[in-house]
Structures are given as structure tokens and as C-alpha cells.
Amino acid sequence: MPTGTLGVNRGAGGLPSAHTSGIVTHMMYEKSHQAFQRARQLMPGGVNSPARAFGGVGGEPVVIDRGQGPYLFDLDGNRYIDLIGSWGPMILGHAHPAVIEAVERALRRGTSFGAPTLAENELAEMVVEAVPSIEKLRLVNSGTEATMSAVRLARGYTGRPMIIKFAGNYHGHVDSLLVAAGSSAATLGVPNSPGVTEGAVRDTLVLPYNDPAAAKAAFARDGQRIAAVIVEPVVGNMGCVPPATGFLELLRDLTTKHGALLILDEVMTGFRVAYGGAQSLFGIRPDLTTLGKIIGGGLPVGAYGGRADIMDHVLPAGKVFQAGTLSGNPLATAAGVATLRVLRDTNPYPRLEQLSSRLADGFQAAASGAGVPAQVGRCGSMMTLFFTDQPVTDWETASKCDTRRYAQYFWGMIHRGVYPPCSQFEALFLSTAHTDADIDAIVAAAGQSLKEIDQ
């Protein structure tokens, strides 16, 4: 038995063993532990993306063997009700038969051609039909590529240098946007990463989210130099923080008035909070939209799209350069089309809303029952349990949350077979595979876990 196995998976949040005796045994995470030790020798921090390293809650990640429906199974055979859904894409749950079948069919026909395919038309068509502001789009391979390309296009189209972003919003690891960034950049304390030069962010202006006065002042001062505002319409990357009433409308008005573009980063919210994304929910028509996650059905995909007259500035129709060997990949487009078809044909959003509101109420009741001050931030099936007694509306308020308590809650949930986001500054996601019984089990686990929290 390697020393520290149990300790490691109790987390730096430090659940006293008395709280978990009878639940945790040394062998429960042994294979994960062994695999992660090897991973640490092979990859920086043992992971291929820092968000999954459990750095915000301490300890080692469990290593996943497979997923089925709403469940994840780790190498030791422990089952978890999955609340991250691969950080958003798995809205149909894991290994959905329609997605598996579509990918298998595509796989037999070849995995990449570097040439146009019909499946690209199909996915693009479905996106254009679902999101009226997107008249044309370009498929890429990740959300980061989508936002990076949208920003370049906005600058190329307007001939202006400045981009406005909001503190605690995260738009992938694009140099010019990796400033005051949320998600793992915030979790791991590098909101402004070494390696991003002053020059790369010289034209990036960071404003507080949900602050109309700051946005108005920025446009009054720099209106003629601003190429675009990029914003998560519902922030998922400082935990889930919906927009204040009128905030997105104000950004639309200011950008229109000053000849700047409005870019809605819907990598997380696209096809998640509604089939037409957050823009359909809030009635905002952006100039450009970025997508990812759900439109790839769990395979690597991103997209940026919007007004045809702007998109026609992208090479080879126009002069703004952007390219990709695997863009529009046949497996990814097949998974995306299959996922969107299920969403379009079954309209699961009312049901997701019902499940999510039950979960939010359950969290709130569990927190009150345990005497732990907490707030639930939610939009549709994305939400966050914030450990604070103050409403969370921006990065200033999100960053005041008690991350130590979050870590204790997180490990309590893991030990009870529920897998929440491993950071206070991420959202959880429900899927169509979750049942009422799963919600009851999550709420029961939360009730017990919250009662164990040090006061």
C-alpha cells in the first residue's frame, strides 16, 4: 500500500477521517493513484488540461475508465453521478446510442480527409437554423480556436485594435484574452499567465462583469478604438453567474452606437441553456458568436460565426487568415450532428429546467439544513453552489467564496459517489440522462457532505 493514498484522496481541504470512516477505504482509489503517479512523470502536473487536476480542492484526481449515461466509472470501479459532463459537451449523457452509432458509421468511412465533406454542411446548416444571428460559420477544433479567430476577425473587419473582456470570464487560452481570466486560470491563481507578453494584452481592456457604468465609461473614452466586446452571456467560468437585467442589452447598444462588434462567447451556453443558446433566451443578436462543446457531441470542435458580411472577411472569401488541418473533421461533425438532432427533435430543455430547479432547491435546502451560508447561481442546466453569504454577480463577489469549504464539500461528494466540478469557479452541468432519482441522490449526498463542513 503506497503511503498517502487515502490521504491524497481525502483532499487538501482535509476531511477528518472520522467524517468519512465507513465510506472510504484505502483500496478505493488505488488504481487511480498508481495511474496518476505515472501520469505525473509523463505530463505536466499529470494532466492535459489543468482544470481536471483537482488543484482547487487538493489531492489527486480519480482516473476515469468509462462513462455511461449520467455516470462515470473510475479505474477502481467506483461509480459517480457525473456533474461536469466533460465540462459541458455531454448534454445527452455519456455514450448516447445515437452519437455512438453516428461516430461508428463515420469512422468506417475514414477519419480525416483535409477536403470538404457533406457532414460539414449538415452541421453548419443545423447551427444556422438554430441560431438566427449566425448566417455563416467556420468550424474549428476547440473553443479557444473559435474565440481567437473571432477576435482576429473583429480586428480585421473593423480595423481597430481594442478588445473589451470581463474579469472572471474565460475565453480559452488565447494570449490576448488570458488576462483576469476565470476557469482554471482563476482556480490555480494565474489569471494573467507568465508567457503572455505586455504587448499581447496591450489592447485588451478588462472590465467588471455586470457593471453598466464601467462599460459606458470605457466606450465614452475609447469608443473609436474598440473593435469588439467579447462576453460570456451567462458566465460559467467563475462559477455560474447570469447577466444582470439589461447588461447584455447595454453591451449591444454601446457596440452598435460606436461601430464595434459584439461577440457572444457561447462555447458553454450554446445549445445548453436553450437550443438557440443564451442569445435566444435573452433576445440579443450579436455580430459574432463562438461555439464549441455541445456542437461536437464530446469530440473536439469549435465554431465561430455571425453576420455573413463579416464572415466573408475570412480567408479565402476575404483576407483574415485562419486555417486548420482537422477543422470540420468527419468524426466530430458526425457526433455534433447526431447530438443536435436529438436536441432539436426531443426538446429536452423543459425537462432539464425541471431537474435543474429541483437540484438548485435541494442544494439551497441542504445548505440551510447544515447551517452553511451558500448561494446557487443558475441558468438552465448549468449551476454553481457558491460558498458565500453574499449574492455572486461578478468576479469581485465570486472571489470572496470560501474555497476551503468548497473543497470539503467536493470530497464529501466524491466519497459518496457524486462528481461535482473540482473548483468553486466552474459550473456543473446536468444531462438528459440524469433522472429524478439521481437528483435525490445528489441532494442527499450534499446534505451529508455539507453537515461535515468545519464551521
Shortest Cβ 377–ligand HOZ spacing (Å)? 14
Identify the residue among 4, 25, 26, 49 touching ligand HOZ (CB under 6 A).
49
Q: Please name the residue that has the C-alpha cell 441522490.
A: 441
Binding track, positions 162-201, relative to ligand HOZ; x by CB under 6 A: --------x------------xx-----------------
Tell how far CA 170 is from the center of its chain: 9
Under the binding rule (CB under 6 A), the answer on residue 87 touching ligand HOZ is yes
Under the binding rule (CB under 6 A), the answer on residue 279 touching ligand HOZ is no
Under the binding rule (CB under 6 A), the answer on residue 269 touching ligand HOZ is no
The count of residues interacting with ligand HOZ (CB under 6 A) is 9
Considering the complex, state which of residue 20 and residue 184 has its C-beta at the smaller distance from ligand HOZ: 184
Under the binding rule (CB under 6 A), the answer on residue 426 touching ligand HOZ is yes
Under the binding rule (CB under 6 A), the answer on residue 384 touching ligand HOZ is no
Strands of the 302-306 sheet, one edge to the other: 136-140, 302-306, 288-292, 261-265, 226-231, 162-166, 204-207
Under the binding rule (CB under 6 A), the answer on residue 78 touching ligand HOZ is no
Show Cβ contacts of residue 182 under 8 Å, excluding neighbours closer than 6 positions. Answer: 168, 169, 170, 191, 235, 237, 238, 395, 425
Show Cβ contacts of residue 368 under 8 Å, excluding neighbours closer than 6 positions. Answer: none
Distance of alpha carbon 389 from alpha carbon 231, whole angstroms = 26
Segment interacting with ligand HOZ (CB under 6 A) among 47-55, 92-100, 113-121, 342-350: 47-55
Under the binding rule (CB under 6 A), the answer on residue 406 touching ligand HOZ is no
Identify the residue among 6, 8, 35, 51 touching ligand HOZ (CB under 6 A).
51
Torsion-angle region of 215 (φ positive above 0: left; ψ -120 to 50: alpha; else: beta) = alpha
Contact 295, 120 (CB under 8 A): no
Shortest Cβ 54–ligand HOZ spacing (Å)? 12
DSSP category for residue 272: T
Q: Please name the residue that has the C-alpha cell 494584452.
A: 201
Shortest Cβ 356–ligand HOZ spacing (Å)? 18
Q: Residue 159 burial by CB count (10 A; 0-12/13-18/19+): exposed, middle or buried? A: exposed
Considering the complex, state which of residue 89 and residue 336 has its C-beta at the smaller distance from ligand HOZ: 89
Other beta carbons less than 10 A from residue 28's beta carbon: 20
31 part of the active site: no
| 165 beta partners | 206
293 part of the active site: yes
Shortest Cβ 28–ligand HOZ spacing (Å)? 25
The catalytically annotated residue of 293, 349, 406, 409 is: 293
Considering the complex, state which of residue 145 and residue 426 has its C-beta at the smaller distance from ligand HOZ: 426
312 part of the active site: no
Under the binding rule (CB under 6 A), the answer on residue 395 touching ligand HOZ is no
**Angle, CA of 210, 216 and 217, to the nearest 5°:** 110
Contact set with ligand HOZ (CB under 6 A) = 49, 51-52, 87, 170, 183-184, 237, 426
Q: Which residues belong to the active site? A: 170, 265, 293
